[in-house]
Chain A
Amino acid sequence: MTTPTADLPPAADQTPNTEPNRARRRSGRMRVLAVVAAVVVGIAFAFLAIRTVGPHLYAGTVLQGDTPAPALEGLVRADGSSVDLADYEGDVLMVFFGYANCPDVCPTTMATAAQAMDSLSAEDRDRTRLLMVSVDPSRDTAEYLETFTSFFHPNFSGATGPVEAIDSAASQYGIFYQLGEGEDYTVDHTASLMGIAPDGVLRIVWPPEVTAEQLAGDIAELLG
């Protein structure tokens, strides 16, 4: 490649404004532009290479092993269908155990997850969903959970079921929960978000304080 300065035309004010000179000037400018473009593309590739080669540092705790995520058996959605994790294959599914009367933690987590959705590429967003499993089945109907979750993002939905099914799911996912007392009781519950990878493996656990940016970064990485 020739250096850009070698073919630069003389400064305009010293050059007679003849037709050949104008043509030469144009071709000189084209060359400068080509070199600048090449440099820009080169830098962009270098950045991409660094990002691709460098390992992604997950904000969540990555789980080892290839055991498929526990099935969430016996849980139903608003439309009456049973939860089937096979429906989410090829996607990232965030799983959260919460309840609709939860004033602070659950709406905050939903809002954070929704912000993460917004910062994903359209393609990744289409492949990312969230399922909120109720830890308060006596107050949460599947219909209401659906209203609650979809308020935050259309890809979010809810599931509930008999206490036995919820206890079983909670225990398999390492979730603690305990109902409080009184009419307006609150529920203590593990507020981690869990991520099932596109291959159906429970791959990652995010702490309650995870940020939208961290979540989006990890999800994009899980989607590959």
Chain B
Amino acid sequence: MKRLAVLCCALAACGSSGDGDLVVRDPWFRAPPPFANTAAMYAEINNPTDVDDSLLTMGSPQCRSFELHRTVTSDNVASMEAIGDVGLQIGAGESLALEPGGLHGMCLGLDDGFEEGDNVVVDLQFETMGRVTLSVPIQRR
């Protein structure tokens, strides 16, 4: 797991500018069942810089579309909210958790062969840091 985090940090560094870098820890897709149309991506994004940033969009050549969503659970009823153009703010020194049952990236219209063990190229577009490209493993957890 540590090696993965380091790898992702290295990848994140490639896509960022300036001295401080956003750190994307432990990104993963939950392995979707065969023939599934959607898959959720999770990660923890840390902003150790002294500049506020925002995650604006996500995209992948292996997904027809990619949306930022938030699962909101109220009285045990789960519903999904799309995150608008404003994106998700990550204040200076703060972290943003994309996690099951909460914020997540939703890949729609999966490529064939979106399977456990594979890696998916995902671009994250940040307001300040620009584009960060990750190789995200598909895992069962």
A151 at the interface (CB under 8 A from B): yes
Q: Which of A103, A186, A192 contacts B39 (CB 8 A)?
A: A103
Contact B101 A100, beta carbon cutoff 8 Å: no
Q: Which residues of B contact A (CB under 8 A)?
A: 30, 32-40, 65, 69, 71, 73, 76-80, 100-101, 104, 106-109, 140-141
Contact A107 B30, beta carbon cutoff 8 Å: yes
Given contacts A104-B40, A104-B71, A104-B104, contact A147 B77 (CB under 8 A): no
Note all chain A residues with C-beta closer than 8 A to B36. Answer: 100-101, 148
- The residues in A between 169 and 187 inclusive whose CB is less than 8 angstroms from any CB of B are 176, 180, 184, 186
Contact A191 B77, beta carbon cutoff 8 Å: yes
Contact B101 A108, beta carbon cutoff 8 Å: yes
Question: Taking each of A103, A144, A186, A207, which has the highest tally of chain B beta carbons within 10 Å of its own beta carbon?
Answer: A103
Q: Which of A107, A176, A209 contacts B73 (CB 8 A)?
A: A209
Task: Give A111 to B30 CA distance when docked, in angstroms.
Answer: 9
Number of A-B contacts (CB under 8 A): 75
Given contacts A104-B69, A105-B101, A184-B108, contact A208 B33 (CB under 8 A): no
10 other A-B residue contacts (CB within 8 Å) besides A107-B32, A180-B80: A100-B33, A101-B37, A103-B108, A104-B100, A104-B101, A111-B30, A147-B35, A186-B80, A188-B77, A207-B76
Q: Mark A183-212, 1 if CB is under 8 A from B, else 0.
A: 010101111100000000000000111000
Question: Taking each of B33, B34, B38, B106, which has the highest tally of chain A beta carbons within 10 Å of its own beta carbon?
Answer: B33
Interface residues on A, range: 20 to 34
Query: What residue of chain A has the Cβ atom nearest to residue B39's Cβ?
Result: A103
- The residues in A between 124 and 176 inclusive whose CB is less than 8 angstroms from any CB of B are 144, 147-148, 151-152, 176
Task: Give A102 to B32 CA distance when docked, in angstroms.
Answer: 10
Note all chain A residues with C-beta closer than 8 A to B33. Answer: 100, 107, 147-148, 151-152
Given contacts A103-B106, A104-B100, A105-B71, contact A191 B38 (CB under 8 A): no
Note all chain B residues with C-beta closer than 8 A to A192. Answer: 76
Task: Give A191 to B76 CA distance when docked, in angstroms.
Answer: 6
Contact B78 A188, beta carbon cutoff 8 Å: yes
Query: What residue of chain B has the Cβ atom nearest to residue A102's Cβ?
Result: B38
Tell me the minimal C-beta distance from B109 to chain A in angstroms.
8
Note all chain A residues with C-beta closer than 8 A to B65. Answer: 184
Note all chain B residues with C-beta closer than 8 A to A191. Answer: 73, 76-78
Contact A103 B73, beta carbon cutoff 8 Å: no
Contact B76 A105, beta carbon cutoff 8 Å: no
Contact B79 A108, beta carbon cutoff 8 Å: no
Task: Give A179 to B126 CA distance when docked, in angstroms.
Answer: 32
Contact A111 B73, beta carbon cutoff 8 Å: no
Note all chain A residues with C-beta closer than 8 A to B77. Answer: 176, 188-191
Given contacts A191-B78, A208-B76, contact A111 B39 (CB under 8 A): no
